[in-house]
Structure 1
Amino acid sequence: MRSLSFRKAGLEDAEQVADLHAESWRRHYRGAYADSFLDGDIATERRSVWSARLDAPTGTETILAEYDGRLVGFVHVAFDNDPTWGSLVDNLHVYNSHRRTGVGTQLLARAARAVTQRAVGNAMYLWVLQQNTDAQQFYLASGGSCVETADVPPPGGDPSRLNGTPKCLRISWPDAAKVSKRQR
């Protein structure tokens, strides 16, 4: 019987998390990040980042979604990251083969639950590239509000694209408890 399960990530998960992160960047960030960066060895760079994050997860939590024991998505939250906006949903990625199956919705709800359980405040937010309209629709349908636009020079950014530095939108949820309830 096939089943979807969730668990906290550990250091032993760094490689598979990094691989999904790199695949997601390649799929969704083309045009904002330089092709040379996306076509390069970003998996190695992401492995370094995720090994460090998962080796010392102080003030953070990474939750994996697995389908029959294989990673299909993850979310990473940095608690109380900003005094105004709250906890940062720093990453939420789902393999393309599992998009629109509810995995992202459940990961966002689990992130919200973690915020209500571990953070000082209940607010949470994230940044999404302006060109990533599918993700924006998902976050807005999940009760988030677009509250700000900012320039964000990404790794491997290509300032000749998108009329200069790519833009990101801050999506905010003032009360993560409502996200959690909304997603059940």
Structure 2
Amino acid sequence: MTSIQFRLATQQDVEAIAALHTLSWQTSLQEIFPAQFLTEQVPHMHRQHWLETLATPKGYLCVAELNDALVGFIFCHTNDDLKEWGCLIDNLHVHPDMKGRGLGRQLAQHAAHWCRDIQSCNALHLWVAEGNRAAINSYLRWGGERVERCLHHHQGGPSIWAYRFYWENLSQTLLQQE
């Protein structure tokens, strides 16, 4: 059996990352966002986002591949919330066929190492749609604490309620589980 390979993303990964990001939203957020938004606006929105993100790299963008196919990725960076909440996991997506195998946790652990070892920060946070029960359950299992609920606005789409999850001490939560 071939093992999953992890590596830093390059500009050549834009299309695959955007496609997986879109597929992830279309499958995990179909009860939250209107179908028309997910099929007509989201693919273009994600492609543009990743073109811009990879054109001026910042943070940590790690992809997971199986048999040379992208099966997951994580994007983590610092932002204005760094002092209060630590590094931000801006995106964490796993191909629907790979869910339930621990890949999301492995990607989060890669980001946690980057946060702790490169950014000298021992905390992480992320936002998740209130209706994304599978992700919420995963973050709780990984030791994340649900600390805040906020209305998030999406360009061209509806506003949705989201939770902030927080890992205050990576060594005692996410990285302890390695």
Same fold (TM over 0.5): yes
What does residue range 30-45 of structure 1 map to in structure 2 within 5 Å?
30-45=30-45
Matching of residue 181 in structure 1 with residue 175 in structure 2? yes
Letter of the structure 2 residue corresponding to residue 37 of structure 1: F
Stretches of structure 1 lacking an aligned partner (at least 5 in a row): 159-164
Indicate the SS of the match to 2:150: strand
Stretches of structure 2 lacking an aligned partner (at least 5 in a row): none
Partner of residue 54, structure 1: 54
Please, what TM-score do these two structures have when normalized by structure 2?
A: 0.92
Partner of residue 118, structure 2: 118
The answer as to whether partners of 1:113 and 1:177 remain within 8 angstroms in 2 is no
CA shift in 2, pair 1:81/1:97, >3 Å: farther
**Aligned equivalents of 1:128 and 1:30: distance in 2?**
14
The answer as to whether partners of 2:72 and 2:104 remain within 8 angstroms in 1 is yes
Partner of residue 76, structure 1: 75
Letter of the structure 1 residue corresponding to residue 51 of structure 2: S
Letter of the structure 1 residue corresponding to residue 168 of structure 2: P
Please, what TM-score do these two structures have when normalized by structure 1?
A: 0.89
The answer as to whether partners of 1:14 and 1:47 remain within 8 angstroms in 2 is yes
Partner of residue 104, structure 2: 104
Structure with the bigger RCO (C-alpha within 8 Å, sep 6+) is 1
Partner of residue 161, structure 1: none
Q: Deviations over 1:12-40 (max 9, x none)?
A: 11110000000111111223323221121
**Aligned equivalents of 1:109 and 1:78: distance in 2?**
14
Partner of residue 131, structure 2: 131
**Aligned equivalents of 2:41 and 2:164: distance in 1?**
28
The answer as to whether partners of 2:112 and 2:175 remain within 8 angstroms in 1 is no
What CA RMSD, in Å, does the superposition of the two structures yield over aligned residues? 1.6
Give aligned pairs, total: 177
Partner of residue 162, structure 1: none
Superposed displacement of residue 42, structure 1: 2.5
**Aligned equivalents of 1:81 and 1:173: distance in 2?**
17
Q: In terms of mean alpha carbon deviation, does 113-122 or 66-75 score higher?
A: 113-122
The answer as to whether partners of 1:32 and 1:157 remain within 8 angstroms in 2 is no
Give aligned-pair identity as a percent. 32
